[in-house]
Amino acid sequence: MRTLRSYVAREIAMATALVFIALLLLFAFFDLVEQMKDLGRGSYQLRHILLHVALSAPNHVYELFPIAALIGTLFALAQLVASSEYTVMRASGVSLGRMVQSVAMVGAIFGAATFAVGEFVAPPAEQFAQRLRSQAISGIVAQEFRSGLWIKDGTAFVNVLEVTPEATLRGVRIYEFDGSYRLRTLSFAEGAEYEGNNRWMLVNVASTNFEEQATRVSRHDFRQWQSVLDPSLLNVLLVKPEKMSAWSLYSYSQHLRENRQKALRYEIALWTKMLYPAAVVVMMILALPFAYFQNRQGGVGAKVFAGIMIGLGFHFLNRLFGHLGLLNDWPPFASAIAPTLMFMGLALTMMWLQERR
């Protein structure tokens, strides 16, 4: 059984690698076409575009893993069926459960690789890609709204107009409120530099204090500012939740909850990130029922096409449930796991129907 498991694993791994190369080249081409429209803006040159495309590749690897594993497994099994090797395996006493176990073990390795890429490689690469593009085009790393970034910091609201590549801030406005939500102090600083331990040095600060019967204005060349805002939090704000690491999602969700803000979007993204490796295993198990189909019921091309459609269906269903959970305030875990459970149910149903024949 060990020899058989190794053989099946090798066939699936080789087929999946070929599919990965094809899909990555396709998506890299799409990225290249998308970025070419900004060629010449600011100092955004061809070398920046090529580097941006290369840095976007790890995120595509993470997103495409379930689809590539499904298509690769389908292709490998279709080849085994075409050469009657699969029939010999089953006739030799290899049960469906053993085949599921063999495929699941390969899927577990792929799932671990998916989590490693999604946690340690793709997020920093995506952050660097966004910084590179923004810096080359406008010299600004982030500008979430026309008025800049907005962050809640305890009883204060902070507006940052620009973030530079060195993680210094420009155009910082700090609105401080009291316990009754009355504006007490409005401060404006031309810039701010991070000093460590959540301390910033504000430069050219003008503060307006709103007292009971009057207002008082004060000016300082430099002033220290203690804030939850730090460079790591800025990195989180530069990337979409779906492209962040699980640890960053957890930390930022905690930050939002502590400040009594809604963290549902980040919690759904966190659970989706944690459950995504399991989707790789489910997609590979879903390929098993196709091994029962004989060549007269569709060749390799038809099965691969079916795999592409199923993989795309899973990808879009995953996004759909994320949006539905956000709109309807569903539990984050339920929103994240629902597509995987649906496709697992489909796989088990198809295998049960095939076994009855």
Report CA 282 to chain centroid distance, whole Å: 19
Residue 213 CB neighbour total at 10 angstroms: 4
- The Cα-based distances of 3 to 8, 87, 102, 316, 356 in angstroms read 9, 17, 11, 37, 29
- For the entire predicted model, the pTM comes to 0.75
The ranges of the chain with pLDDT < 70 are 1, 138-147, 164-166, 232-233, 235-239, 291-300, 303, 357
Rounded to whole angstroms, the Cα distance separating 243 from 34 reads: 19
Strand order in the sheet with 183-196: 149-153, 156-163, 169-177, 183-196, 199-210, 215-226
Q: What is the pLDDT of residue 33?
A: 94
Which among 150, 117, 16 is positioned nearest to 71, based on CA atoms? 16
- Residue 125 contacts residue 58 (beta carbons within 8 Å): yes
Contacts of 315 (CB under 8 A, 6+ apart): 63, 66, 67
Rounded to whole angstroms, the Cα distance separating 119 from 126 reads: 12
What are the domain boundaries of the chain? 2-138+263-356, 149-237
- Residue 192 contacts residue 203 (beta carbons within 8 Å): yes
Q: What is the pLDDT of residue 139?
A: 55
Q: What is the pLDDT of residue 291?
A: 63
Look up tokens 């070398």; give the residue.
47
Q: What is the pLDDT of residue 289?
A: 82
Q: What is the pLDDT of residue 296?
A: 47
